[in-house]
Structure formats: structure tokens, C-alpha cells
């Protein structure tokens, strides 16, 4: 299928430093990649799980496509740019091998920008030449990409671990995944259907039911699983009892409660005041811990995130 994506959107994404790969994938430098290389400040996933920020590729195989239009999402949505494209009209998919090659090349290109950076750490720069991890999460819903299991497999073949983040609206795809990621995240950003409709603005009628089906599937995964909740002040931080029931259904390895960040195109939909302080996130996480029996394992105040688990300590993927 020809690319029917409006040129305005492509231009906007390029302006926001998305490196477009093939017909529907992209890599973008994560803020923490920069912070790790230049200021020795890695992301919270390095702190929690040992994933090294300076060796991480942030990518998506579904740049233009999603089953939701979450208010807090940093990606460009139809109304943001006053253009329309059908986010559910899926293209002919590029092959996993070409996406992996293209992503590695894009990361290499991003890295060349740091060669002459006076403050870049040279040891880390050398290490960054060999990425070790992929966050399949940048934007869009990755489970819409049909050969997702093969993509994970290709990355693994190249020695990269993968953290996959899904909104959980494609349970059939998840249940048939030919290869599991290293860690699987499901976003749960509402305690009930009413809040879900208001905050996550699903584009398919049974999205809430599908999310619940996905939660029921989580226990069948061998990899560690995470329920991630993006918290928006005044929108989805109440009804902790109902969140606890969703956790009970999924029994994830972890829960990450994280503040909404006022960045990207979300600025056009939500005000700055919607961003909760770390202490509000911590309070929400503590109440959830009390209801679920999960323990507070760790936190990162600068990322406004709190990690809960039934484990005594998180599983680390690198020393
Ligand atoms: S794991 Fe996520 S936050 Fe950390 S460097 Fe990779 S993309 Fe950025
Ligand atoms: S599901 Fe993810 S990519 Fe889709 S709109 Fe929500 S936050 Fe954005």
C-alpha cells in the first residue's frame, strides 16, 4: 500500500526528531540516552532493571497507528495537527529484518551527533556503538504490527533485550506472539470503563473488554510483566480499589505508577497542572500497595515513578 500519511504529519514528526525507518517505524533519541551520555544520569529503568540507557534504542514499528488516542500521549494525533488520517487503516508491513537494520542505522546516526560533544563520556560513547536494549514503545500501538514476535526475535538474534509496551487492546495478537519480549508492559491508565473512555479515548468499541482480556492473559507469560499506570492529576488518580481489582486479575510481576509528563503533543491537550508531583504518585502507589499486597521496591523522584512488586527485589538484566 502506498504511504497515505499526510506530509504535514511526517514533517511534524521529523521536526520533533523522529528518524523514520521504512514505511511505518521510527527511532527517536530518548532524553535519558542523552542524559546518560552527557551528564551521567541514566533513566529509572537502569536503576530498577539494569537496562543501560546509553545502549538503548527507543523505537516503534507502528508510528502512525494506534487503537487509542490517550489525552496524555506525546504522539501527534489527528486533532493536534488539524489533519486526518485513519490510525486504524493498517499498511502492508515492512519485514522485521529491515526494521531491525533500519533501527540500528538510525541509532548510529543519532550517535554521530555526540562524537564531538565536549561533555560526552568517551567510554559510554564507545559502548553506545553496540546497543544492547530496545524499548518497543516510542509511540503507536506495537501489537498492531503483525509480525511483532519475529521483530522481537530479530532483535534478540542481534543480542538485544526488548521491553515491549502495549495498551492491551490486541489480546489475540499477544496470545499468539511467536516470541516473548524480555519484559512485557501493559498500560492500565484507568480504573474503570468510564474513566478509560474519557482518558484513553479508544478508537475501537470493545477496547476496555480487550484490555481486560489481556490482563487475564498476563499470567501465562514467562517473562516479567508490568502494569504501567500513567497518572494524570484530576483525571485517573482515584478509585484505587478498582485499580487493585485489575492488578489482582493480571498478577503482574511489577506495577509502575508514573506521572504524566507535559511533553510532546500532549501539551496541546492537557495543561501543565495535570502533571502530578512525585509525592502524589508515591501516595497513589502506597494506597495501591496496601490494597494489593505489593511492596514499594524502588522509586525515582526525577522521573516521578514508583515501583511495586511482590518480589523482594527487581530482576536485573545487566550487572
Ligand atoms: S529504557 Fe526507556 S527511558 Fe530508558 S533509555 Fe530506553 S527508552 Fe529511554
Ligand atoms: S496507547 Fe500509547 S501510543 Fe496510543 S494514544 Fe495511548 S499513549 Fe499514545
Could you tell me what percent of the chain has a pLDDT over 90? 91
pLDDT digits (tens, 9 = 90+) for 113-166: 888 899 999 999 999 999 999 999 999 999 999 999 999 999 999 999 999 999
Which ligand neighbours the alpha carbon of 230 most closely?
2
Pairing of strands 161-166, 183-187: parallel
Which residues are registered as beta bridge partners of 296? Answer: 308
C-alpha cell at 303: 522521573
Atom of ligand 2 nearest to the CA of 74: 8
Q: Residue 3: what pLDDT?
A: 47
- The residue-averaged pLDDT of 170-184 equals 97
The answer to whether 192 touches 144, Cβ cutoff 8 Å, is no
Q: Residue 84: what pLDDT?
A: 83
Measured in angstroms, how far is the CA atom of residue 142 from the centroid of ligand 2? 10
- The residue-averaged pLDDT of 233-241 equals 98
- The residue-averaged pLDDT of 215-225 equals 97
C-alpha cell at 19: 528518524
Q: Residue 319: what pLDDT?
A: 52
Residues 6+ apart with CB under 8 A from 292: 244, 247, 248, 255, 308
pLDDT digits (tens, 9 = 90+) for 256-290: 999 999 999 999 999 999 999 999 999 999 999 99
H or E element in which residue 305 lies:
strand 305-309
Atom of ligand 1 nearest to the CA of 31: 8
Residues 6+ apart with CB under 8 A from 184: 163, 164, 166, 218, 221, 223, 224, 225, 226
H or E element in which residue 290 lies:
helix 278-292
Confidence of residue 80 (pLDDT cuts 50, 70, 90): confident
Q: Residue 44: what pLDDT?
A: 97
* Coil/strand/helix, residue 59: strand
Please tell me the distance from the alpha carbon of residue 138 to that of residue 16, in angstroms, as a whole number. Answer: 13
C-alpha cell at 110: 543519532
Could you tell me what percent of the chain has a pLDDT over 70? 98
CB count in 10 Å sphere of residue 82? 7
The overall pTM is greater than 0.85: yes
Measured in angstroms, how far is the CA atom of residue 194 from the centroid of ligand 1? 31
- Rg, Å, the chain Cα set: 19
- The residue-averaged pLDDT of 186-205 equals 97
Confidence of residue 1 (pLDDT cuts 50, 70, 90): very low
Q: Residue 210: what pLDDT?
A: 98
Report the candidate in 14, 19, 183, 12 with the shortest Cα–Cα distance to residue 104.
19
**Residue 119 to residues 6, 28, 297: CA-CA distances in angstroms?**
38, 21, 33
Identify the residue whose cell numbers are 495543561.
271
Q: Residue 57: what pLDDT?
A: 98
Measured in angstroms, how far is the CA atom of residue 120 from the centroid of ligand 2? 32
Provide the angle, in degrees to the nearest 10, between the axes of the packed helices 148-157 and 96-112: 50
Average per-residue pLDDT for the chain: 95
Residues near ligand 2 (Cβ within 6 A)? 66, 68-70, 73, 75, 139-141, 167
Q: Residue 258: what pLDDT?
A: 98
The answer to whether 153 touches 180, Cβ cutoff 8 Å, is no
Confidence of residue 294 (pLDDT cuts 50, 70, 90): very high
With a 6 Å cutoff on the Cβ, whether 32 touches ligand 1 is: yes
Measured in angstroms, how far is the CA atom of residue 3 from the centroid of ligand 2? 21
The sheet carrying 18-21 orders its strands as 18-21, 25-28, 56-60, 133-136, 161-166, 183-187, 225-231, 254-259, 305-309, 295-300
Note the residue count of the chain. Answer: 319
Report the candidate in 263, 257, 248 with the shortest Cα–Cα distance to residue 282.
257
pLDDT digits (tens, 9 = 90+) for 26-60: 999 999 999 999 999 999 999 999 999 999 999 99
Amino acid at each position: 500500500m502506498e504511504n497515505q500519511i499526510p506530509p504535514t504529519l511526517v514533517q511534524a514528526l521529523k521536526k520533533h526528531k523522529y528518524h523514520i525507518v521504512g514505511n511505518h517505524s521510527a527511532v527517536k533519541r530518548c532524553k535519558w540516552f542523552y542524559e546518560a551520555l552527557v551528564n551521567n544520569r541514566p533513566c529509572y529503568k537502569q536503576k530498577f532493571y539494569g537496562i543501560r540507557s546509553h545502549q538503548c534504542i527507543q523505537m516503534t514499528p507502528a508510528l502512525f497507528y494506534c487503537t487509542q488516542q490517550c489525552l496524555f500521549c506525546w504522539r501527534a494525533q489527528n486533532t493536534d495537527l488539524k489533519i486526518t488520517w485513519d490510525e486504524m487503516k493498517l499498511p502492508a508491513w515492512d519485514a522485521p529484518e529491515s526494521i531491525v537494520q533500519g533501527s540500528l542505522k538510525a541509532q548510529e546516526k543519532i550517535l554521530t551527533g555526540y562524537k564531538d560533544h565536549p561533555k560526552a563520556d568517551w567510554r559510554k560513547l564507545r559502548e553506545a556503538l553496540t546497543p544492547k536494549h530496545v524499548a518497543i514503545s516510542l509511540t503507536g500501538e506495537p501489537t498492531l504490527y503483525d509480525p511483532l514476535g519475529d521483530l522481537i526475535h530479530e532483535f534478540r538474534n542481534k543480542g538485544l533485550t526488548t521491553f515491549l509496551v502495549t495498551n492491551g487492546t490486541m489480546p489475540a495478537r499477544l496470545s499468539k506472539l511467536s516470541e516473548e519480549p524480555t519484559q512485557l508492559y501493559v498500560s492500565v491508565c484507568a480504573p474503570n470503563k468510564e474513566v478509560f473512555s474519557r482518558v484513553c479515548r479508544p478508537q475501537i468499541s470493545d477496547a476496555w473488554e480487550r484490555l481486560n482480556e489481556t490482563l487475564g492473559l498476563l499470567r501465562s507469560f514467562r517473562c516479567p510483566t508490568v502494569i504501567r499506570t500513567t497518572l494524570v492529576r484530576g483525571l485517573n488518580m482515584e478509585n484505587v480499589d478498582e485499580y487493585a481489582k485489575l492488578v489482582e486479575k493480571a498478577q503482574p510481576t511489577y506495577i509502575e505508577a508514573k506521572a504524566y509528563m507535559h511533553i510532546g503533543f500532549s501539551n496541546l491537550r492537557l495543561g501543565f497542572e495535570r502533571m502530578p508531583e512525585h509525592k502524589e504518585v508515591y501516595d497513589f502507589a502506597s494506597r495501591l500497595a496496601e490494597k494489593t499486597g505489593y511492596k514499594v521496591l524502588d522509586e525515582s523522584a526525577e522521573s516521578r515513578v514508583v515501583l511495586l512488586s511482590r518480589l523482594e527485589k527487581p530482576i536485573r538484566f545487566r550487572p
